[in-house]
Chain A
């Protein structure tokens, strides 16, 4: 795939070798969203293929969370089309969210609820569930299962939010700033687990401010600036095209000037 800043055309629905149409995990076209008179998203396009980890980047207020929430049907879009796993997030909500896991930037839990109760409650919402004890083990929360969530550290709460998103055995996973608050070891654990999921064909859309994380995990990224796509492509190729040493440098340069603004 060529790297063309702002170009998403070559991401459109794929045809596999057998000639069957492969449905994209995420297909967003011309998404527009404004709050009162302020535009949060201006003609946002996004295609995420099955088994791909996709990074949604941008500074605070660039429109990342708005994009995620519009994609999930939680925020009402002003214009555009959204399909997740070929389904409409509003019309097909029930069947779609059997297959989609979500970790929000700020995950709220009931006051005084325990970790195991949280997991049991989440597991009751889905038809097919993963073994949440195994997930707690994997995310090193098993010893905390009888603790109230309010007694967990910020990082542990964040890991619990990821566990909640994984309980329904999702085919598509949205992770909004997943490793914020995690220590380096926990971040590495989460990264490895996400790679394992990708290996099993799970598609992941993540937002992050950690460029090392994005560079390590993502197959493709989109950088948003004031609700518009600035660049779109594979991290490594983007770094080469723009002649930067790493994604961090590229991101900072894109945020400074209008270099690479989408047409």
Chain B
């Protein structure tokens, strides 16, 4: 019990320091929080409440995308590159606790982003979650869990920080623009939609839309199964191939 308390205190100190560092860098604040809230405002300003509801799920997932596909892999790859994980190996605490604090911070970013986008849509443009708050929140966390697995997979497989940057750009931007997160899926040409359907985030956004509109969950079962399998395989490979150095 005492050791659990000590480890929790360590985790809190690490989380606090990671948070301070993230604020000093500012990129997660900008791309994970300010950008999605601004996009929501823009959509609300040029469209009506129906447009806001249609695009809400996509915009709410921008924070997940930024945290999972940029924040996690780039932080882990840079900590490995800078030999910070190696330094932690020569202390009484597992480097795992540092990874947990990085994940917790990225989770917080995605949640703050999600809440910010919701409050904008709800109070500025009168949108409501027809499927209920709980279903939406559960779906959000599930999609987040699934997308983060891809971030961990990248972090585990990339040989160095340069490759990590390259892979993140290749994975992040197509998902950001073609999955319905920033550019509405409905206005994409049919061929691009077929390509977009290959992205896990596209399936995640479709699940979130189902939760927003309160659609039957049956239609989401294949997506749920697909994202679960992706997450399972990605986490498994990440654990098996992870290197501290």
Contacts and interface: CB of A to CB of B under 8 A. Distances in A.
Contact of B10 (A73, A106, A125): A125
Interface stretch (A26-34, A95-103, A132-140): A95-103
Nearest to A101: B90
A125 B92 contact: yes
Interface residues of A, number: 30
B167 interface: no
Given A100-B90, A125-B91, A74 B245 contact: yes
B223 interface: no
Contacts of B94: 94
A121 interface: yes
A112 B92 contact: no
Given A74-B89, A95-B92, A98-B92, A106 B83 contact: yes
**Residue from A97, A104, A117, A125 whose CB has the most chain B CB atoms within 10 Å:** A125
Contact of A124 (B9, B79, B87): B9
Nearest to B6: A127
A164 B84 CA distance: 12
Contacts of A125: 10, 88, 91-93
B86 interface: yes
A166 to B, nearest CB: 13
A16 B213 CA distance: 78
Interface string B86-105: 11111111100000000000
Given A110-B84, A112-B21, A124 B13 contact: yes
A168 interface: yes
Interface string A141-183: 0000000000000000000000010001000001000000000
A37 interface: no
B87 A72 contact: no
A174 B91 CA distance: 12
A193 to B, nearest CB: 20
B17 A121 contact: yes
Contact of A110 (B9, B10, B82): B82
Interface SS majority for chain A? loop
Contacts of B78: 111
A63 B84 CA distance: 22
Contacts of A95: 92
Contacts of B10: 124-125
Given A104-B86, A124-B10, A110 B21 contact: yes
Contacts of A107: 83, 87
Contact of A94 (B82, B83, B87, B92): B92
A113 B21 contact: yes
B97 to A, nearest CB: 9
Contacts of B190: none
Contacts of B240: none
B91 A168 contact: yes
A102 B90 contact: yes
Interface in B9-30: 9-10, 13-14, 17, 20-21, 24-25
A110 B6 CA distance: 23
A110 B25 contact: no
Given A104-B86, A124-B13, A110 B79 contact: yes
A106 B86 CA distance: 10
A144 B19 CA distance: 22
A72 B6 contact: no
Given A74-B90, A107-B87, A117-B17, 15 more contacts: A74-B89, A94-B94, A95-B92, A97-B91, A102-B87, A104-B86, A109-B84, A110-B79, A111-B82, A120-B13, A124-B9, A124-B14, A125-B88, A125-B92, A164-B87
